[in-house]
Amino acid sequence: MGKPYSQDLRERVVGAIEDGLSTRQAAARFSIGIATAGAWGRLKRSKGDVQPAKQGKPKGSVLDAHADFILGALRETPDLTLDEMVDRLATERDVKVVRTAVWKFLDRHDMTHKKRLHMPASKNALT
């Protein structure tokens, strides 16, 4: 992941804009993008500071709060599909997630949860 521009550069660009340079002129002077200079100017006006936002995703998941429910449901019904779990979370816990979120939750808890599609038995090949 890339690093944010330095605080010093941010302050110099915003200072130049506040001193009367246009956003384009300030961007050209400091060799940054016009949109970046504009965003920093708006950030300074709205928050009073040009600190970069924290980068990265927070650890954890929405489903961590519902771990007991999910793991308990799988103990009760071991052949529960991911889609069925998504539906149960939506109806019983009012949590809207996608199948991938449930799969990643189970993967973090070292649980394999593979399901085969229901299909008629084949006479020619093993299913």
pLDDT at 127 over 60: no
Measured CA to CA, the distance from residue 120 to residue 127 in angstroms comes to 9
Domain boundaries, the chain: 7-47, 62-108
Give 74-123 pLDDT, tens digit per residue.
889 888 889 999 999 999 999 999 999 999 999 888 887 555 666 666 67
What are the φ/ψ torsions at residue 67 (nearest 5 degrees)? -60, -45
